[in-house]
Amino acid sequence: MKKIICATALIFAVVLTLSAVPKDVPWSGEQLEGVPAVFDGSGYSTNGVKALFYESLPSQGRATRVFAYYGIPGGASKEHKVPAMVLVHGGGGSAFHEWVKLWVDRGYAAISMDTCGAISGNGYNNHPRHAFGGPAGWGDFNGVDKPVNEQWSYHAVAAVVRAHSLLRSMEGVDPDRIGVTGVSWGGYLTCIAASIDSRFKFAAPVYGCGFLGDNSTWLGNFKAMGEEKSRQWLGLWDPSVYLPLARVPFLWVTGTNDFAYPMDSLQKSYKLLRLPVTLCIRPRMKHGQGEGAAPLEIYAFAEHFLNGKAALPEIKSVERKNFSVDLKYDAHQRKIQSAVLNYTCDKGGWKERLWRELPAVLIPEQNRVMMEIPECASTYYINLFTDDGLVVSSEHEEI
């Protein structure tokens, strides 16, 4: 029997089979793992991608419905099942048919759902809500006094996991080869969904992480809420509550100066994971849906865990003595073409720091990189570049 992991800040987190889920946790396995009812959305199909509505958890005494785009590549069948992806949009966005098509064109089935009770429109924001939508997003900080099952994060996480359950049931989809990726608020949701749903084979949150109350673009929201309500929201909905439960590999993609989810909160988040984590941190990576869906590292990660192709390189160790750094790696059947030291001499807010780059000494016959950090450096990390343009990053260290 497959398992879903459930948790709240009020009880111990435990791995539970469907028959043993307590009644007082945010989600039950039975709620999320069952194949949801599907309703016609064909009038919204576009770009060769189909549309539908699927049933989700009740709000205001009635079942809700979630709008989604989905696609299955030609040739997929019961005899020839394909891998699949769950795609979670960020703030201001909705279901993206373009994103689905990107994955379908690569031979994957994919589903992209709206998480705010809306029907996808053009571009960002102002997506029209439909009559069966649940709470509007994002974060719903002012709704923390509402019942737990009426809050946005509760319904948005459920929408993601139920999309997974629906995708698994589709003809031609291999239920044992499905990953999840999300951008910004979608990365936030990916962290939680992949932590409570162990059926996923991997997770790739872009930008999104936990410890939002420690450092994030929403510190002003928490200050306005006051200490008690902030503690209540964070105890229910911060990804840090759920990440220790994750049992799937994570790839985190972000930029050094991300305005929403800074590098210190990101690091605290990935250190909660019990499995090795892969990082891709590009200097000054822009924050956006297009930028978050594009990184080739996500596709390579999927190809490894869903199609058995070569893994991304793995950084095995980083040792620093004063300002000399020695890094060792495993290329995993890939070729490391270069290595770059990324460093900043600044110590202020993460999004304002100026990052500089210096070439490092690559010793491929020893799977080793050596470099000297400038004495002004306050923080550094190393990027390894493969010959086909993929990037893998070390953890950042503050000196």
pLDDT along the chain (399 residues), means of 10: 35 28 59 92 94 96 96 96 98 96 98 96 81 92 94 96 97 98 98 95 98 98 97 95 94 98 98 94 97 98 98 98 97 97 96 97 97 97 97 97
The ranges of the chain annotated as CATH 3.40.50.1820 are 4-307
The ranges of the chain annotated as CATH 2.60.40.10 are 314-398
Q: How far is CA 90 from the centre of its chain?
A: 10
DSSP code per residue over 321-344: ETTEEEEEEE-TTS-EEEEEEEEE
Contacts of 217 (CB under 8 A, 6+ apart): 259, 260, 261
* CATH class of the domain defined by 314-398: mainly beta
DSSP state of 42: G
What is the pTM (predicted TM-score) of this model? 0.93
| Conformational region of residue 263, where left means phi above 0, alpha means psi within -120 to 50, and beta covers everything else | alpha
d(CA 23, CA 256): 41
Q: Which two tokens stand for residue 130?
A: 């439909």
Q: How far is CA 269 from CA 125, 247, 280, in A?
A: 29, 14, 15
DSSP state of 118: B
3-state SS, one letter per residue, for 262-305:
CHHHHHHHHCCCCCCEEEEEECCCCCCHHHHHCCHHHHHHHHHH
Q: What CATH architecture applies to the domain 4-307?
A: 3-Layer(aba) Sandwich (3.40)
